[in-house]
Structure 1
Amino acid sequence: MKLRFEEFTPDSDSSFRLIINPRLNDVFYWHFHPEFELVYIEGANGTRHVGEHISRFEGSDLVFIGSYIPHLNFDYGVKTECEKVVVQIRQDFLGNAFANIPELSAVYQLFEKSKHGIAFGRETKLLLKERLKNLKNLGHFEQFLEILSLFQVLAQSNEIALLHPKPVENQHNQKEQERITRIYNFIDQHYQQKIEVDEVANLTNLSKSAFCRYFKKITRLTFVEFLNHYRINQAQKLLLLNKNVTEACFESGFESLSYFNRTFRKVTGENPLSFKKKFLSDK
């Protein structure tokens, strides 16, 4: 699961990019980017993985993802035909005036909430699905107006679920993003093995103590805490693939079942078996 920084290329003469039915279902595309992203997928059962949040969606999903929140492509592993609409929006979509236009105050608050990642419920999806699928038939100006209107509806929805426990704020320049990506990719390649802090510190050309201070500053977690969170994320995916708890424990890099169970509860608030039953009981 390699973390990638995704470069944004807006549509010509536009401040956003519209992507219809991208085919990434065979690619585990774990990525992040500075743009806001609205995703609608229909006709599929799949995994919603945004930040540290992992859950299943059934039939359709509508999610608004804030700037720099790592996320997985929503159609990964989907075997059925499905429709997907992705709208990527530049950070400066409406510039500084965005916060000062009274008519857009609710939309502004929605963009603020997107720092957590937001999922919308059934009625909101039914209300907007045809409008989202019709965006491709509009000119750029009409798309701009329609997207504003769509966000106004989303802002007024009472079916909002925040996915990420804390807002994800980007405070890093491009060089730091590359360093962070290098660290994440190393973890991704070696999380099933024992990882020493010194190994990762060497990747950043920092001493062990300097690396620990740096890593805590950018992630708000110690390296061990972050590695445990990462491994628990992997274990959750394995459980959703119907692996048993022992398999999920050792295949995600833990060396002790009791420590795995304690860490799983600490990170997710529930034990592994409860998590698995909750999401697989209807299958």
Structure 2
Amino acid sequence: MKIQKETIEFETGKSFKLFSPSLKNCFFWHYHPEIELVYVEAVNGIRHVGKDISAFTDSDLLLIGANVPHLNFDYGIQTECRQLVVQMQENFLQEIILPVPEFEPIKKLLERSYLGLSFFGETKNTVVEKLQTIKNRDAFGSMMGLLEILQILAHSAEVKELNREDTRIKWFLNDKIRMGTIYDYIHENYDRKPNVNEIAKIVSLSTPAFCRYFKKQTNMTFTDFVNNYRISQAKVFLLKDYSVTEVCFQVGFESLSYFNKLFKQHTGETPSEFKKKHFRAIEVNGKIGEIKRDSACNT
């Protein structure tokens, strides 16, 4: 469960690879010298890139720089999950992008990717469509498609930097604590009362030392992280049509008013608003699907 260096193999004559990994039951905390573009689609999930730990709903599109430690994005997801991953060869930036003046925006994008970049809005939708199309193109066509995607990302304002500082592997080299043990403990106990003294003992640290370590690794206190995890799990249960009250107690909160308050702090909306919005979206998409089927039958 320590940080692992992933060795990536490429087909002969290919500068990048596009594939769909599935590691749901594996805690793969890793890094590699290749820049990576990841699209993940799930009801709800947690991303851990560098020091950033945050939740996503429905889907996420991330550009992760060389040697930035990250967790596989399907870890712990209990619902259906789909991923598309592009990994670019280690020399991609130096030998393909840097020598071409017209690629200056792409160069700046890839150089900034060490912060971990999350894209949203129309940028995400457009890029995902293009990722789907380049899967079945020949080597040259796929390469042109990837450059087009990078150009779109380079000019997009729909982006969030996940880290404020350099979190490449040199930052983690002296880390001897098994973060996987902490994740597993929280996952097993979030609906009860995760005890900071207990997990500190499990990873062989005093409680004060554990608190300092955890804050340094995640930029969050242990309590804040547990609450963040609970809210993330709450979204899953809400989208399974559990009532707000059921979800509140199912994820470990003892006060409905506190659950509502914390949920709104994290998401900008109450649990009821979140549930109503997403079920409305499902209904709308369903009606659109029916309209399309009817139209097809009438043609």
* TM-score using structure 1 length: 0.72
Q: Contact 1:37–1:87 (CA<8 Å) still a contact in 2?
A: yes
Identity of aligned residues (%): 30
Distance 2:5 2:245 in 1: 35
Show the counterpart of 1:266.
265
Q: Spell out the pairing of 1:18-167 with structure 2 (5 A cutoff).
A: 18-19=18-19, 24=22, 27=24, 33-34=30-31, 36-39=35-38, 46-47=42-43, 49=45, 51=47, 52-56=54-58, 63-66=61-64, 67-70=68-71, 72-73=73-74, 77-78=79-80, 85-89=84-88, 93-95=92-94, 102-111=101-110, 112=112, 115-119=116-120, 121=122, 124-125=126-127, 128-129=130-131, 131-135=133-137, 137-138=138-139, 146-157=145-156, 160-162=158-160
Indicate the larger mover: 212-221 or 259-268. Answer: 259-268
Distance 2:46 2:89 in 1: 19
Show the counterpart of 1:247.
246
2:187 matched to 1:185? no
Provide Cα deviations, 1:105-163, integer angstroms capped at 9, x if missing partner.
3224434367141135277248725642235x317xx75565334312332346x354x
Q: Which runs of 5+ in 2 are unaligned?
A: 48-53, 283-299
Give secondary structure in 2 for the equivalent of 1:72: coil
Q: Could you say if the C-alpha distance between residues 245 and 126 of structure 1 is closer, same or farther in structure 2, counting changes exceeding 3 Å? A: closer
Cα deviation, residue 233, structure 1: 0.8
Show the counterpart of 1:17.
17
Q: Which runs of 5+ in 1 are unaligned?
A: none
Q: Spell out the pairing of 1:173-212 with structure 2 (5 A cutoff).
A: 173=172, 176=175, 179-212=178-211
Distance 2:200 2:102 in 1: 49
Give secondary structure in 2 for the equivalent of 1:86: strand
Distance 1:178 1:100 in 2: 41
Q: Number of aligned pairs? A: 264
Q: Contact 1:18–1:88 (CA<8 Å) still a contact in 2?
A: yes
Q: Could you say if the C-alpha distance between residues 71 and 54 of structure 1 is closer, same or farther in structure 2, counting changes exceeding 3 Å? A: farther
Q: Could you say if the C-alpha distance between residues 249 and 128 of structure 1 is closer, same or farther in structure 2, counting changes exceeding 3 Å? A: same
Q: Spell out the pairing of 1:215-234 with structure 2 (5 A cutoff).
A: 215-234=214-233
Distance 2:128 2:118 in 1: 20
The structure whose Rg is larger is 2
The one-letter code sitting in structure 1 at the alignment partner of 2:155 is: Q
Cα deviation, residue 173, structure 1: 2.7
Distance 2:176 2:156 in 1: 34
Cα deviation, residue 40, structure 1: 5.5
Q: Contact 1:37–1:65 (CA<8 Å) still a contact in 2?
A: yes
Indicate the larger mover: 228-237 or 86-95. Answer: 86-95
The one-letter code sitting in structure 1 at the alignment partner of 2:208 is: S
Distance 1:249 1:186 in 2: 20
The one-letter code sitting in structure 2 at the alignment partner of 1:170 is: T
Q: Could you say if the C-alpha distance between residues 48 and 88 of structure 1 is closer, same or farther in structure 2, counting changes exceeding 3 Å? A: farther
Distance 2:61 2:195 in 1: 36
* Equivalent residue in structure 2 for 1:170, among 167, 170, 179: 167
Q: Could you say if the C-alpha distance between residues 276 and 65 of structure 1 is closer, same or farther in structure 2, counting changes exceeding 3 Å? A: farther
